[in-house]
């Protein structure tokens, strides 16, 4: 079991290791985007299930998204309404995505958790998913994450700020210039 301090966790993330930390929804398994393939192995996750990027602010995602200046304003406005918080935006992906997560779209989120925001502000955007084996419910404590994923570096911290409810996911539909709700989570989003 590898429970570590926040400083050590950030160092491990920068070295390309898989890490775990609490968010405002569920605990995350995370890695630098170039090393995200390890998450699929550890989690036993199908390669056709995409990962999302977490970051500390919208501007950190700029190189990973592709859209017009007008679309970027719309996306940033939506983000400013709900971030940090339990909303994942699915946006058109740029060519900057690493080959391990190459897709036409990419999920993006800024979590509302002080430890997560501090880690992400120092590590940069991380490819993430919930901390659980594929098909299993999310784990509820950082100690459970450490016990279930012994090769992962896990933040030794209280998990009390998490809701346990996954984020709401909305996707930008360029043809109609509207948002489509893909998963209803904690937030009830009205098309804006």
Measured on CA atoms in the order 43, 135, 123, 2, is the torsion positive or negative? Answer: negative
Domain borders along the chain are: 3-183
Q: pLDDT 10s digit of each residue in the chain, 192 long?
A: 689 999 999 999 999 999 999 999 889 999 999 999 999 999 998 888 889 999 999 999 999 999 999 999 999 999 999 999 999 999 999 988 877 777 899 999 999 999 999 999 999 999 999 999 988 988 878 889 999 999 999 999 766 657 778 889 999 999 999 999 999 887 887 654
**CATH homologous superfamily of domain 3-183?**
DHBP synthase (3.90.870.10)
Helices 114-123 + 6-14 axis angle, to 10: 40
pLDDT in tens, 83-131: 999 999 999 999 888 777 778 999 999 999 999 999 999 999 999 999 9
Which strands form 168-173's sheet, in the order they lie side by side? 3-4, 153-155, 19-21, 28-31, 126-130, 52-54, 105-109, 87-92, 168-173, 178-183
pLDDT of residue 186: 79
């Amino acid at each position: 079991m590898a429970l570590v301090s926040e400083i050590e966790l950030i160092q491990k993330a920068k070295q390309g290791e898989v890490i775990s930390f609490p968010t405002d929804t569920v605990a995350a398994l995370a890695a630098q985007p170039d090393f995200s393939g390890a998450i699929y192995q550890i989690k036993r996750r199908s390669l056709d299930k995409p990962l999302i990027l977490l970051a500390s602010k919208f501007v950190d995602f700029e190189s990973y998204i592709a859209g017009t200046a007008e679309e970027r304003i719309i996306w940033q406005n939506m983000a400013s309404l709900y971030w940090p918080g339990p909303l994942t935006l699915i946006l058109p992906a740029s060519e900057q995505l690493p080959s391990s997560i190459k897709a036409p779209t990419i999920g993006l989120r800024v979590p509302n958790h002080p430890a997560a925001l501090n880690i992400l502000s120092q590590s940069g955007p991380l490819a993430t998913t919930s901390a659980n084996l594929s098909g299993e419910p999310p784990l509820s404590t950082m100690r459970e994450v450490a016990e279930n994923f012994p090769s992962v570096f896990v933040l030794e911290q209280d998990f009390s700020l998490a809701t346990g409810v996954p984020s709401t996911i909305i996707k930008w539909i360029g043809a109609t210039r509207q948002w489509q709700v893909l998963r209803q989570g904690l937030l009830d989003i009205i098309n804006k």
